[in-house]
Amino acid sequence: MNSDNKKEDMEQPKILTLDDDFSLIKQFIDGDHDSFKVLVNRHKEKVRNIIYLTLMEPDVIDDIAQDVFITVFKNLKHFRFESQFTTWLYRITVNKCKDYLRKKAVRKIFSPIKDEEEDIASFRINEDPDIKEIVRNAIAKLPDKLRIPLVLRDMEGFSYQEIAETLNCEIGTVKSRIFRAREALRKILEPLEKELFV
């Protein structure tokens, strides 16, 4: 009986742990470039999602994700194994997103003036309104510093601690910003209160 139990333990699929990322990184440092491919394959979707949720622009996701992994590739030899690989990876991802937003803001200054996008208050509901799309648009209207912690929490399921490490700030700040983001989102969606909350 006991031996059967042991056998079952042996046959169980290996669960990915933190050490798996670390061992892959060690292999990469030792010259095995294929281990990097495994790392990319394992984390690319999460990275792409964060980029999408942070920027709400589907067209730039892959370019920025590529840029994230190129940076990882170049700096992986200097990884210090002090924190989780994902914390380091997501921080790079968020920073790349912030860089993009900064460049976009600068570009906007020098681009011809366009009509402001329609306010969500005057958002005309289609014949078959897509609630999810409305919410996504409302989230997109939030300022970056409120939107990013909110999506990491409510869409990606990050803990406050993880968000604080990724954004390189205090947990109290994360707590406050998530609350303010929710307050702002509620106000934006107020005209649709009946459709959304009832």
CB of 110: closest distance to other proteins in angstroms? 28
Buried b (16+ CB within 10 A) or exposed e, 54-71: bbeeeeebeebbebbbee
With a CB cutoff of 8 Å and minimum separation 6, the contacts of 163 are: 149, 152, 153, 174
Q: Scanning the structure block, which residue is given the tokens 């060690």?
A: 26
Among 135, 141, 169, 191, binds other proteins (CB under 8 A): 135
Stretch that binds other proteins, among 13-21, 42-50, 85-93, 103-111 (CB under 8 A): 42-50
CA distance 167 to 81: 19
C-beta closer to other proteins: residue 105 or 161: 161
Distance of CA 171 to the CA centre of its chain: 17
Rule CB under 8 A: say whether 28 interacts with other proteins. no
Instruction: List residues near other proteins by CB under 8 A.
Output: 37, 40-41, 44-45, 48-49, 52-53, 58, 61-62, 65-66, 69-70, 73, 131-133, 135-136, 139, 150-151, 153-155, 159-160, 175-176, 178-179, 182, 185-186, 189, 196-197
